[in-house]
Structure 1
Amino acid sequence: MEEQLVRLLAETQSSQQVPRKQAELQLQQLYNEEAFPIGLASVASHDSVPADIRQSALLALKTFVLGAWTPQFDEFKGRILVSDENKSRLRHMLLELATSGKEERKIKSAASYVISKIASSDFPDEWPDLLPTLLRVIPAGTDSQLHGALKVLSDLVEDCLNEDQFFSVARDLVKVVYDVAVNEARKPTLRALAVSVFRSCFNILEMVMEDHKTEVKGFAEEALNAWTPFFVEVLMSRLPPPPPEDEEIHEGNSADTYRGLIALKLQVVKVLVRIRTLFPATLSPQSPVLFSATWEELSSLQNAYHGMYIEDERQGRLEDADGLPYTLDFLVLEELDFMQACLRAPPVRKELQQQLAAQTSANGSPHSTWVTEVMKLAVAYAQITTEEEGLWDIDVNIFLSEETNVTANYTARTACGDLVIKLGEWLKEATVDGLLTHTRSLYSENTDWKAKEAALYLLNQLLGDFSDVNKQVSASSANGYVDFIRYAMQQGNVFLRARGYLVAGSLTRTSGEALHQVSLSFMEASLQAMTHDSSEVVKVSCIRALQYYLTALPASTTLPVQETIISALAQYLSTQDLSDLNESDDLMVTLVETLRDAIMLDPRVCLTGAGLDLLFTIAGHGANNFQITMLITEIFEDITTKLTAQ
């Protein structure tokens, strides 16, 4: 049967539909054969069979197990097609395959997945020796055996162990993975996998915390006392220089080590974030040293990150066959989030406040403080990556979705925005002053446009948060940014130019009357750019910025230009392919919201001007979009109410 299975599995990968469908049908017809699942496991275990066929055999076996192993599975087809004797043989064959001494990561991962499905039904009653076998293999096994055993253990902890089973083996399990994690003789990737297993334990702890608070807290404190020195050591260790791009994606000692060390650091940060979420008081005493280590690490990685993602376009967001992220962008993102989380820890705040007071007293001003240093770090990582630059050039809707924070794409840039926002919530004046101080230094030097844009982007994020909670920027700080905004609005780079227009509007909205003298010229510049700038990114930025002026400036300033604004919006819309706008949700929403704000200055414009025609045009092309339809319906209701009242 094995030869038949190899042939059929090969044909299921055919690019031709007819033979592929026939092979899939023949495999299903073999389900009733007693030797079928054993044959698949045997094919997967043969070194002589190509790796893709072996993986395919395990995938077919997983599908068979879900449909024919036990009624407990949702995918069960109604008949158990495996005898108890064959079940026992399969369990043994699969575990042996997963923990073999051969270097076959993808095969082991696929085998582990089948094991976890079977274990979710059979462990521990029908498979009592599964966990003891793993705990025996892990300490003494070769790297290959260890990899398979850790992968199976990871799936077991995540999917199979209930609270009683977990607590009966918790200390032994945690000790076994701890010994792997701290063992520098092991490959970094295996150590990362061990840390990942430890992190999965906290998912079980979270589920039982409410009912067993004392026991869970005691276990967590005991585990952390052992693990925390290791976490600090990993965070404080330095990465080697990244390998060249042509080596990075290939197997090799230096590239493997680099990827493994990133994966290890990443898993350490992930487990710290998890602990910080579940047991903040337990981690709090260690938070100052963890905060410092994370800050130092991020500072040391700036040049590598800048070279790989801001100057070059290295591939990011990559995971290995075990689901472990291993690229630098992932590590930076996790560390920025953890740094932000540490800022909320009382010991960190106490120490930083003391430092800020001492630095301010020594300098006689709030400049050159640790806050300014955080701003330098944030600006370094908030710069537009080469990938983002390319995407935004192609599709302005992606740019707008980032700008309006409706995207699910969480990047180092957005994480830096969140970091600055959290700092501003705690130390408002110091954050604004620190960012202004660093912005001055950037604009006084021959700095790359990306750094200048990033500084204004972070200001924009901070101002957006201030607006949400009704905070304002002082007049001196607001006026301190005016020259930088003017400079940005006149630059050749479209993203720096667009940022200038956006920040001008945001600053007007959050500075009270401080900028009213220059805001009219800013608004007029936005109207001019809307119709005459060559860049779509700049045009839509100006359309969005107009919303800020219309809500912040007095009617005596905005009402005289009401019809000019509506005319500029109509002119912009006339240059667009309206059929394309159906797929540009964020752009459509921005257009409608800006038009609404312009009309509501005085709805009587609808009786004589083009405002109503423009609304009908947009409504006609956005009829399939629920959000647009609801927004326009509300606008018509508001117009009717106001006109009736007048």
Structure 2
Amino acid sequence: MDSTESLIGMRRLLENLLSPDNSVRIQSELEFKHFMESDANSLSYLLIQTALDDSLALATRQSALLQIKRIVPLVWSPAFDKFVGPTPINQKIKGILRNSLLKLVADPDSKIRSSASYAIVQIAAVDYPDEWPELLGHLYDSTTNPDSSMFNIIGSLSVLQEIFDDVVTDQQFFEGGVAIQVLKTCETLLQNKFNSAEVKVETLRLLKSLCQSFDNADFDINGREQFCNSVIPQIYQLVISTSKNVSAEPFVNSLTAWELKYETYYILDYFMNSFSNLLESFASASFNLLLQDFSVQSEVYQQLLMSDIDTIEFDKIFTDVKQFYSSQRERKEPYPFLTTSMSKEVEFMQTLIEIQNVDNPVHLSNILDLLAHVSILPSSKIEDYNSDFNQFVTDESGLNVEIAIRDSIRELLSDINENANHILIDLLMEKLNKLGDLKANQLKAETIVFLLSCCFENDDTIVQAPSFDLEKFLNSSLNLLLSGYIVSEEFQFLAARFILMIPRFLFKFANKCKQFGVSAFTKICSVISKLGGVDDFFIVKSSILISLQYYNYFIRAKEFGTLVQNELLGLVTQVSTEATEDTNMTLLDVMTIIISIDNLELTKNSHTIELILTIGFKNDSNFTMSSAMFECIEDILKDIPKPNYDDIVSFVFPFLLQKIVEVKEEYSSDIDLCLQVLGSFLKVNSSYQIPGEIFYNTFSVINKFILVCQDDELIQSSTEALIELVRHSPELCSKFIDPETKETGIQILLRNTAKLLSPDMSDRAIVKLGDLVNLLITNFNQSIGSYLDEILRALTVRLVHATEVPTIENMILIFNALTISQPSSTINFLKSFMIDGKPALVKVLPLWFQAYEVMRGYDSILSNVRAFIEIYKLNDRDIKGIVVDGDPLPQQVPDGIIVTRSIAKRMSIKYKQIPADAKIVSLLLEELKNEITAGDHGAAVGHIRDVDNDNDYDDVDDDDDDGWEDVEDLGRQTLDQLKDYVDEQKSLKRDRVGNNDDMKELLISFFKECTVQNTSNFEDIYNQFMSDNQRKLLSEYLLFA
């Protein structure tokens, strides 16, 4: 098997798989697939031998490991979901692979170690502990064996991290002794002064991976709380000692030492946040160490802030740059890593300030100096912002996913305690006043104003009056802007910072300054005319628009008036010309505020709606942007006169329809958005009938589009638009006649409905089919009478064969409506024909129940409840004879079996089998519990149900014994006893089942009627199919709700 010829062939195959020649690569893929299917054992063996051969090129070895990762789920064991077999790899080859992979985690190359680690964890997910019991023992030994190489220790620690994330269960961790063993291993490695910094970094990463296990520990399980209380202080002591040892020597010129510091502060912050009650005694020492480290690290970090990142020679600052790169599993660059490290220390500082409630002025002054040192606007940011203002908007709008130290500082200052907040504001005002000429010290001034702005974001109660004159500070800030003194094209950031700070200042001191808000913003808007042409001062202009969102927190938009509205619209128009994704999103958010000033004024012409659509269509596939655009459309159209609405529709619809007419059959996000915009226009003012000509053009275009379209998403969107159009103007639909085919509007709707009912249509395409059929029945019942039976039969077949939950839900709503209005006819209809050899009713009812259990939306759930009540009251023998799934059967996992993630995925849950009428009672009782427990409509917003419904009753008001002294054991009383209690209350006088829209009252009335009148032999269900807990719940709610 391991002949030289075979290994050479494997090497050649791997090289061809990486070939830039597409034909060679495709042929090699086919060859590899055939090899795997015909002899997976030999393939696996040759791949691992290739990976082990360190004389080969690194790319070839990595390719071999990549292919091992690919084939393991396919050929290793049937325990993998993706297993294709036909037979699993034999035990001998498995043993060779396991041992070889453990050797490869000791490889000097970090990428080889990482790939081997991944494959080990893949295998361990199904083999550990049963088929690979020695795995953890081997890894522990490798980390602590004096003969182990540094790479072997690092690799083994890396595997342990991944195993704890993906394989080890809580039971194995706590009761199985894994936690103790890992902690001992980590302690040994961290306390060994001969271990390298790289080993200690990896050890700390292993400790970090354990944090989640402690945080999620189930303290109801005996011994776990005591264990955590005992070991967490020990872990904290171990980690802080490790950090102190690093600080005892000069470390700031070593990137690996920075990594050590990052890992220690991550763990310390995590534990201090989660278990401060156990660790308060460490807080003071931790704070001292943190400030000491931060002080020396900030000196190095500030050098980087003031430098051009592209020209920094890191190897002249740090002594171990090559080592830093070579030790990484995923490549990271020094500067972003250092930022992450400093940010983590700021986060830990925030934790300690909160725990110690720091408010000593001297202490706070020292902290502020440190923060100011690293808050300076980086040279790289200044360059980036000047070259593209969109990056400034991304950062200031909080949309940047990259870690920035300013974000961590903002979080700290905005959450600090009220006394500290007061002191810091006074200290910063003092610093600002001492600067003198702000323009001459603009970088420092921008930093101070940024820090002030962060403090103003703090919404804690003001404990005492500030030491400065609030109105004077506001006026001086405005004068700096209005005079143009700090408004400079070369350095726009100081002006921008003042603009963004002022609304936060006003909001912070709203009790004294709120009245100045409108005039302050109006004055700032007056600066717009001085900001040059369309291409100038984008950063200042953007900051004005962003600041409007802060004013909106405490000032109603209408207070600004139409002059400011027009200024802002002009500003949005200018900025939008150069705006990219995040800026476009911000512009749409700002537009909702601008519209709110006076939406009627903005509908007197088409400029504003055109601006909204222009921005929204810039990125037509961005869901968040589309949602913001729809919000703008809704806001601008709300409560406007019909002539204004007609004018806007007459402008927008032809533009959108032209786009739709030009489209081909394939998907286009642009057309999808056009269809959604049409729908949004129709939803807003549904009482207004759109102009006849616009309706006819729209109706014609959308229907023709549906008939020719083959894309699921576009069919779904066009169906939604069609539904809104017809719902909006049913009379115009009835009058419509196609000038070419002479078909009526109803005939065209039926033709499109027939297409959607076709088996060729996917579930995704017909997700709104139920709404369309309901629309036909509601509005055109007489016109479609001869087709209705055929439509409903086809709809039922589609429902039975549907797999997508939203599609099933939508079609179920049709049967809800039919059942509520004509219960007997609907059930008889479902009995009248067969689907797949069974009556349609037998196929539909289980789906109906399943759809109900995940249904969302109060109205949908209420209609379902009303339909179930009507079905139950029919007392239909066939319904009683249909057997469906009830609650899960207990004890489906044998004692001693640990349910791993992979086992859980493959488990098939078995259920009690109960008649359909008992299932209806169970679902309605569960709904009543949800209604009363959550209150009002809260429970009916949506269902996310536990499969074990019966167990949900165990916790019903167990702690409340008031009023129960004279009531017998509620779970064991007979129905006659319950009937007597209900009769005594005479509560049936409130019965309004026929027309009651309140879910709770509807259900209580239903169950009282069932109890007193034994509706549909309720007594049989009560005695045979309801548990004690369910009976207790029913009694409690009928008597005391």
Does TM-score exceed 0.5, indicating one fold? yes
In the alignment, which residue of structure 1 is the partner of 2:204? 195
- Distance in 1 between the 2:87 and 2:158 partners? 28
Deviation digits for residues 430-469 of structure 1 (CA, Å, limit 9, x no counterpart):
2321222233344568975333212212222333443x99
Contact 1:98 1:111 in 2 (8 A): yes
Gaps of 5+ in 1: 243-257, 357-368
From 262, 266, 269, give the equivalent of 2:262: 266
Contact kept? 1:540, 1:587, Cα under 8 Å: no
**Map of 1:21 onto structure 2:** 26
Give the equivalent residue in structure 1 for 2:308: 312
**Corresponding residue for residue 233 of structure 1:** 244
Tell me the equivalent position of 1:363.
none
Alignment deviations for residues 240-273 of structure 1 (CA, whole Å, 9 cap, x no partner): 454xxxxxxxxxxxxxxx1221111111111112
Aligned pairs for 1:49-448 (under 5 A) are 49-99=56-106, 103-139=108-144, 140=146, 141-167=148-174, 168-212=177-221, 213-221=224-232, 223-224=234-235, 226-234=237-245, 236-237=247-248, 239-242=250-253, 258-313=254-309, 320-322=327-329, 327-345=337-355, 348-349=356-357, 352-353=358-359, 355-356=360-361, 369-423=362-416, 425=418, 427-443=420-436
State the one-letter code of the partner of 2:497.
Answer: R
Distance 1:434 1:379, change over 3 A: same
Larger displacement relative to structure 2 (410-419 or 105-114): 105-114
Report the CA distance between 1:204 and its aligned residue.
Answer: 2.4
Unaligned runs of 5+ in 2: 1-5, 315-320, 646-1041
What's the secondary structure of 1:201's corresponding residue? helix
2:73/2:83 contact within 8 Å kept: yes
What is the match of residue 253 of structure 1?
Answer: none
Looking at structure 2, the residues matched to 207 and 458 of structure 1 have their Cα atoms a distance apart, in angstroms, of 36
1:630/1:379 Cα in 2 relative to 1: closer, same or farther (>3 Å)? Answer: farther
- State how far apart, in whole Å, the 1-side matches of 2:104 and 2:338 are: 32
Partner amino acid, structure 1, of 2:584: D
| 1:349-386 alpha-carbon deviations (Å, 9 max, x no partner) | 2xx34x44xxxxxxxxxxxx322332222222222223
* Cα distance in 1 for residues equivalent to 2:407 and 2:565: 32
Structure 2 counterpart of 1:266, one-letter code = Y
Residue type at the aligned position of 1:423: I
Specify whether residues 557 and 87 from structure 1 end up closer, same or farther in structure 2 by C-alpha distance, changes over 3 A only: closer
Structure 1 Cα separation of the partners of residues 629 and 270 of structure 2:
41
Q: 1:443 to 1:275 in 2, by over 3 A?
A: farther
Tell me which moved more, 429-438 or 106-115.
Answer: 429-438
Structure 1 residues 453, 83: closer, same or farther in 2, change over 3 A? same
Q: For residues 560-599 of structure 1, what are the structure 2 equivalents within 5 Å? A: 562-563=562-563, 565-575=564-574, 584-597=583-596, 599=597
Residue 403 of structure 1 deviates from its aligned partner by: 1.5
Is the 1:397–1:586 contact (alpha carbons within 8 Å) kept by the matching residues of 2?
A: no
Cα distance in structure 2, aligned partners of 1:471 and 1:556: 32
Q: 1:633 to 1:230 in 2, by over 3 A?
A: same
Asked whether the equivalents of residues 372 and 437 of structure 1 are also in contact (C-alpha less than 8 Å), the reply is: no
What is the CA–CA distance in structure 2 between the aligned matches of 1:324 and 1:177, rounded to whole Å? 25
* Residues in 2 aligned to 1:80 and 1:300: alpha-carbon distance in whole angstroms: 61
What's the TM-score once normalised by structure 2's chain length? Answer: 0.53
Distance 1:63 1:48, change over 3 A: same
Tell me what 1:365 maps to. none
Q: 1:138–1:582: structure 2 CA closer, same or farther, 3 Å change rule?
A: closer
2:529 maps to: 528
CA contact (8 A) 1:417 1:458 kept: yes
Deviation of 1:286 after TM superposition, in Å, equals 0.4
Equivalent residue, structure 2, for 1:498: 496
Return the alpha-carbon distance in structure 2 between the equivalents of residues 333 and 530 of structure 1: 36
Query: Is the Cα contact below 8 Å between 2:602 and 2:636 reproduced in 1?
Result: no
Within 1, Cα distance between the matches of 2:306 and 2:119? Answer: 41
**Which letter maps to 2:631?**
L
Q: Name which of 33, 39, 42 aligns with 1:35.
A: 42
Change (3 A) 1:472 1:387: farther
Task: State the secondary structure of the residue aligned to 1:208.
Answer: coil
Question: What is the alpha-carbon distance in structure 2 between the residues aligned to residue 238 and residue 337 of structure 1?
Answer: 24
Partner residue of 1:247? none
Matches of 1:103 and 1:238, distance apart in 2: 28
Who is 1:489 aligned against? 486
Structure 1 residue 530: Cα displacement: 5.4
Number of residues paired by the alignment? 600
Q: Supply the distance in 1 between the matched residues of 2:471 and 2:373 (Cα, whole angstroms).
A: 23
CA contact (8 A) 2:246 2:257 kept: no
Q: Provide Cα deviations, 1:187-206, integer angstroms capped at 9, x if missing partner.
A: 21110101111121222233
Decide whether the 8 Å contact of 2:208 with 2:267 is kept in 1: yes
Does the residue aligned with 1:179 lie in a helix, a strand or coil? helix
CA contact (8 A) 2:588 2:612 kept: no
The amino acid of 2:527's aligned partner reads: S
* Contact 2:197–2:256 (CA under 8 A) maintained in structure 1: yes
What TM-score, normalized by structure 1, do the two folds share? 0.83
Structure 1 partner of 2:740:
none
CA distance in 1, matches of 2:557, 2:171: 67
Q: Say whether 1:519 aligns with 2:523.
A: no
* Structure number with bigger Rg: 2
Is 1:55–1:107's contact at 8 Å kept on the other side of the alignment? Answer: yes
| Partner deviation per Cα, 1:320-340 (whole Å, 9 max, x = no partner) | 533597632221011111111
- What do you get for the CA RMSD once the two structures are aligned? 3.6
**Partner amino acid, structure 2, of 1:158:** D
Q: Distance in 2 between matches of 1:388 and 1:324?
A: 23
How far apart are the structure 1 equivalents of 2:151 and 2:120?
Answer: 17
SS of 1:567's equivalent in the other structure is helix
Among 442, 466, 469, the alignment partner of 1:476 is 469
Q: Give me the whole-angstrom Cα distance separating, in 2, the residues matched to 1:509 and 1:170.
A: 50
User: Shift of the alpha carbon at 1:5?
Assistant: 1.6
Partner of 1:449: 442
Shift of the alpha carbon at 1:593?
3.7
Partner of 1:507: 505
Residue 412 (structure 1) shift: 0.4
Do 1:453 and 1:499's aligned partners in 2 also have CA atoms closer than 8 Å? yes
Q: How many Å separate the matches in 2 of 1:80 and 1:425? A: 68
Structure 1 CA distance for aligned equivalents of residues 245 and 330 of structure 2: 20
- 1:249: which partner in 2? none
Shift of the 208–574 alpha-carbon distance from structure 1 to 2, 3 Å rule, reads: closer
Q: 1:164 deviation in Å?
A: 3.4
Higher helix share goes to which structure? 1
